[in-house]
Each structure stands twice: as structure tokens, then as C-alpha cells.
Structure 1
């Protein structure tokens, strides 16, 4: 088994272990031949790693309807959604309503800070070098600015946390943040307290120590 096969197997197993319910089912059903080929022909030759990669990543639209991105690349220097679009499913069989929704979904995600990248299955299979060039053209400048943007890593984490709290629909605990951002308890609590100071979250006291945090009206207005 070559390095790609080993890394791909580890990626899928890691996310299957971490997921439950429909998020797990979607990974089992949705990560098919095209999505795997995207990783093998385009992603792996460029990066040689699946760090920060999330296959079949769940997002929510403006109606809080669950949708999935083929591959999410979530880093301190940006969030990138990469899609493998087959002609049959994405163009030929698309009616007007689905076409409108597809455009509006991308626009909505761009407004949330995502950079959406679409490749056709034909190009992934037959012209992967073109896809690699285009992918590098989009992501490369952000990676080069990684050091300069390191100071903004907390701001990106805070935005991700606010969106997570909105999707969750209940008070957030520090351990929820630990799982979301893969940080320790101290860092998670620090992020939550920073949002409290900015007026975007408030403490819900449980005894002497605040263990739960909820979004304020200001944050809800900003996210909607």
C-alpha cells in the first residue's frame, strides 16, 4: 500500500470514529470514487498530507438546512471548500430550483468566509495538472501569508466558534470548543471569555464558575 493509500485510509477512519448519525452516514455514502480521485490526483500531489482536511464536511445554509462540502480545508489562514462536480448530477439533471439553490449556497458560504473551489470530474480524471495549478493559484497566496496572518488565528477561531454555537442551538461548553477546534480546555475557556468581553456571548452561571455560554443578540444579528 503506497503513502496515499495509507494516508487516505487513516483520514477516513479518523473522521468515521469522530462522527455520529447522519454526519457519519454521509461520509460512508458520499465519499465515493470522484471525491477519492480528487484527493489522489489533485490534493495529494500538491500537499502530500491531509492535515486540516475534512471530507464530507457539514455546513448549514440560511435556513439552517444541512448540506455537505466534498472536501473542507480549514486552516488558520482561511476556509476552503473544494467540490468535485459531475456533469450528470450537477448540470444535466439540475432543474431551475436546484440551479438557483446551488448559486445561492456558494454566495452564502462566501459571505461566511469560505472560498469555494469547483472542479469537474472530467478534469480531475483527465487533466489533474490543470486542477492542481488552479488549486495552487487559489490557496498558494494564503499559505505564503500564513506567518503574517498568524496574529489573526484567534479571530478566525472566534468566528468559527460563533458559527458553531449558532448551529448547535444550545449553550456551549468549553469541552465542546475543545472538540471543535482541537484545543485544550484552557484555550477553549480563553476563547469563550474573549467573546464574552466583546459582547457576543454571555456566561450562564452554574455555581461559582461559569460552565455554559450562549450567544447574545448582537452575535445572532451578525450571523443571520
Structure 2
């Protein structure tokens, strides 16, 4: 599944989970800058949108609702990601609003979030720089989360993941049978387990509902996990 289809699926899922102001804020808030971030930065890093929450509601220090552009919670760690445009945040003539925004960011850190500010202009002109910086920030927490859950992959599951990686990210049960010397039932069993763990995605044959192969869901720290 490409980015456009996955983005629509992800956005549709979050809309179904919301009502009232939360839904309205998602419709109003997930606009050009936020979509650029997801497409030009997040997708190239992860190839999926799991655990990324758009227009995420948190309470500020006064207990009032506040919506963060994105919150990412892959486990025990949680990051608040804000897309910062030059006009609204630097030339803001409403000093009270500007002060409140800074206080919210401080409070988010008190509440356990790591706050990341993404310049809007860089999303347009230098997304590669943003990707590099974001990887540097996220990797330590990802490795910690991965090491805590490293037992989630058995030896045969790791072998299948490595095989899929060598085969340009696509694999069939027959490839597992021939490559690992297991029977077809065992191959399908472990491929289905890896689908449930979010590492494989079924790919349908053209004009058919039959699954013909499985696509590896890449992560930029796969080499550390496997």
C-alpha cells in the first residue's frame, strides 16, 4: 500500500474514533503543513503511520484542552511534535497567546512528553535535514523500546524478516519453504504471526481477492532489532 492509500486509511481511522470538537479539530488542523510532514518526513522514515496520533488532545497547565499537531506513543515513550510556521509563531502580535504557547510546551515536558518543533519551511525546502534530525532524536528511545521487547521475534521470525529484506521487501510462503526448509503450513503460520506483529502486509493479486505475496514493513532501526 502506498502513502496516499495508507494516509487515507489512517486519517479515516482517527476520524471514526472522534466526535464533536475533537473531530472538528482534526478536520481543521490536519492541513498542508501537517500533511507535508507525514508524507515527506514520517513516511520515509517508518513506512507506516502506526502509533502516530494527529491533532492529539492534551490538557494544559490550567486543565484546558489543547491540541498538539502530532503525538507519537510507540510504548513507554511519548513525543509531542509541532509544525511551526514563521508567521504565526515568530511574528505573532498577540503576546498573551504567544506566552501561553510557550507555557504549554513547558507543561508538555513536565507531563512526560518530549517536544519536537519542526520548521514548516524545512518541510518544503529541506525535508532530508528534518529526517536526519528526527532520526537522531527518536533512535535512542526506539532502541530502548525495541530492546525491552526484543523477545517479540523468535529465531525463525527473524530469519523470515531477513529473507524478506534480501528479497527487496516482498516474500511468498514458497520462498520461506525453500529458503528455510520448513513445510508450507509452518511458513504460512509464521508469516501470519508477523502480519499480526505489524511487520508484513498482505498484497492481493491483481483483480483478485487472493493474497499472492507479503510486503515487509520497513523500519529504520530494523538492523538493530534483527
TM-score by length of 2: 0.63
Equivalent residue for 2:56? 57
Equivalent residue for 1:48? 47
CA contact (8 A) 2:56 2:71 kept: yes
Q: Which protein is bigger by CA-based radius of gyration?
A: 2
Moved runs in structure 1, 4+ residues, more than 3 A?
Answer: 147-151
- Whether 1:67 and 2:66 are equivalent positions in the alignment is yes
- Whether 1:82 and 2:90 are equivalent positions in the alignment is no
Equivalent residue for 1:118? 117
CA contact (8 A) 2:6 2:48 kept: yes
5+ residue gaps, structure 2: 151-226
Equivalent residue for 1:5? 4
The count of aligned residue pairs is 150
Aligned-partner Cα distance in 1 for 2:76–2:135: 14
Equivalent residue for 2:161? none
Q: Write out per-residue CA displacement over residues 124-180 of structure 1, whole angstroms, 9 at most, x where no aligned residue.
A: 1110011111111111111111144459xxxxxxxxxxxxxxxxxxxxxxxxxxxxx
Larger helix fraction of residues: 1
Equivalent residue for 1:127? 126
Equivalent residue for 2:28? 29
- Whether 1:39 and 2:46 are equivalent positions in the alignment is no
Aligned-partner Cα distance in 2 for 1:126–1:8: 22
CA contact (8 A) 1:70 1:84 kept: yes
CA contact (8 A) 2:92 2:98 kept: no
5+ residue gaps, structure 1: 152-224
Equivalent residue for 1:108? 107
The alignment's C-alpha RMSD in Å is 1.6
